[in-house]
Amino acid sequence: MTSTVIRYLYLLLLICLLSGISAFASEFKKPKAGTVDSITFKSPFYEDNERCFKCHGQKTYEYLNENLDRNVKALMFSERVIDRNKFYQSNHKSFSCTDCHSADYVKFPHPGELRMEQTYNCIDCHGGDEKFAQYNFEEIESEYQKSTHFQLEKEGFSCWECHGPHTYKLNIRNSSDIKEAIIYDNNICLKCHSNYDQFQLLSDKDEINILQKHDWLPNQETHFRSVRCIECHSEINDSILVSHLILPVEKAVRKCNECHSQNSILMSTLYKFQSKEQRKDGFLNGIILNQSYVIGANRNEYLNIISLLIFGVVVLIIGIHIYFRLTRK
């Protein structure tokens, strides 16, 4: 009787297991969206900047057409819309708009020749400045010029293609949550590499399907959430925190061991700046364990020693047993 009940319960469990597997297969969890910081910064140029944001801070703007003598409402060209919140969280949040743009923009309609305005690059302000020496902008500039981005499109490419001047903020250096920093950084690449309209501005190549290109990667979703694109697609440089030498696709890392090993490259890339959060507990590359887990890179030294000891004792006992079997026949 009891065994019959156990058999039925087992069959029931098996059915539940199979239906669970099929339900699971059809619905994978979606990655969590990143959270947005609260803005506490008060800009000394808030009032001045508001004159620009009045039109450029949203998708529509309104102006008085003096010829028609009436207010006209129009759509703002999307490239010219600046997100106020993102700007006041960005690295350049303390700037006045006219620090970088011509003061002539205060006139409306804006003078036509301003369209040809020369824009600054990072090195124009940050180069040769002691205050920014720790970031080594000169090396960043030189690496960037060797990168496939610059080599393929010397005219069209600039720092701003990846680091929007109105939105960019220091990320990996300041982040306490690596997962969010990864989403932020990968979105920089995806801005063009998952949006063909944007991509076409800089390249005549056919559309690249990122998911298909990475078909070979096991647990693709987990990889995309756990590492940045640049871990595999750039060359490591010890003198700067984030590598700017983006490699041609044929030079990208494809060997799993590069990350999944004792000498994981992740320690020189993604986890380079995390030494303040050192956590070892006997794990190799223990810092990774704060946020992630990498098979092959996170072995535990204590477990290694214990397992070798147990293995050694077993082999020894078997050896002694064989010896007695041979000698005490």
Partner 1 sequence: MYLYPVWVRLWHLFNAILILVLIVTGISMQYTDKQDAILMVGFARAVKWHNIAAVLLTVNYIFFVTGNLFTDNGKFYKIRKENFISDLWKQMKYYSLGMFKGEKHPFPVTPDRKFNPLQKLTYVLAMYIAFPLLIISGLGLLFPETVISRFLGISGMILTDILHITMGFFLSVFMIIHIYTCTLGARPTSLFKSMLSGYHVSEDH
Residues in contact with partner 1 by the rule CB under 8 A: 3, 6-7, 10, 14, 24, 28-29, 218-219, 221-222, 255-258, 260-263, 289, 292-293, 295-296, 298-300, 303, 307, 310-311, 314-315, 318, 321, 324-325, 328
Cβ 77 to partner 1, closest distance in Å? 40
Question: Cβ 203 to partner 1, closest distance in Å?
Answer: 30
Cβ pair 294, 266 in contact under 8 A: yes
Which string of DSSP letters, residue by residue, matches 6-19?
HHHHHHHHHHHHHH
Closer residue to partner 1 (CB): 25 or 75: 25
Please identify, using beta-carbon distances, which residue of 64 and 303 lies nearer to partner 1.
Answer: 303
Residue 48, token pair as written in the block: 């001045």
- Report d(CA 149, CA 163) in Å as an integer: 14
The residue count for the chain: 329
Q: How far is the CB of 212 from partner 1 (least distance, A)?
A: 18
In this structure, the number of other CB atoms found within 10 A of the CB of residue 61 comes to: 16
Phi and psi torsions of 44, nearest 5°: -65, -15
Nearer to partner 1, 59 or 325 (CB): 325
Closest to partner 1 by CB, 14 vs 211, is: 14
Q: How many CB atoms lie within 10 A of CB 3?
A: 7
Residue 173 C-beta: closest distance to partner 1, Å: 23
CB nearer to partner 1: pick between 60 and 257: 257
Number of Cβ atoms within 10 Å of the Cβ of 314? 10
Please, what is the minimum distance in Å from the beta carbon of residue 322 to partner 1? 8
CA dihedral in degrees (319, 321, 323, 325; nearest 10)?
Answer: -150
Min CB(319)–partner 1 separation in Å: 10
Cα distance between residue 12 and residue 6, in whole Å: 10
Q: Is the dihedral of CA 156, 159, 161, 162 positive or negative?
A: positive
Residue (261 or 274) nearer to partner 1, CB: 261
- CB nearer partner 1, residue 37 or residue 221: 221
Helix (H, G, I), strand (E, B) or coil at 63: strand
How near is the Cβ of 265 to partner 1 at its closest, in Å?
Answer: 10
What letter would DSSP give residue 86? H
